[in-house]
Amino acid sequence: MPDDTYLKMINVIKEVGDERKRQFVKWGDQSFRTQTDWVAIAGEEFGEVAKEVVDYFLGNQYPTIEQAKRLRNEWLQLAAVAVQAIEMLDRVKIEKPFFGK
């Protein structure tokens, strides 16, 4: 991976972390949630990404900078939700009963 690509990736990951913190401040501790909850939450966030994509690419011949910012923000929110789901998995003792059979 080229150095400039790596640095851009690190910056995006930092932004995901910042969004994760913002979500914690807004919603508080969400460690009680199940993977089913996280799938539902991520699905809702993905729906917001999809809406922005449709608006961004189909709504106007020339999308605005504001539309691009909204789309980017939705992607960051979805990524932060995925981080929370992974954090939850890392906190639990992984056993057969947790995952089913």
Domain that holds residue 65: 33-92
Write down the pLDDT at residue 50: 97
Q: What are the respective helix, strand and coil percentages of the chain, to the nearest 5? A: 80, 0, 20
CB 79 within 8 A of CB 9: no
Q: Total domain count for the chain?
A: 1
Write down the pLDDT at residue 20: 98
Q: Is residue 97 part of a domain?
A: no
Evaluate if pTM is beyond 0.75: yes
User: What's the first-to-final CA gap in the chain, in angstroms?
Assistant: 40
Per the prediction, the chain carries an average pLDDT of: 90
Q: Is residue 88 part of a domain?
A: yes
What residues in the chain have per-residue pLDDT under 50? 101
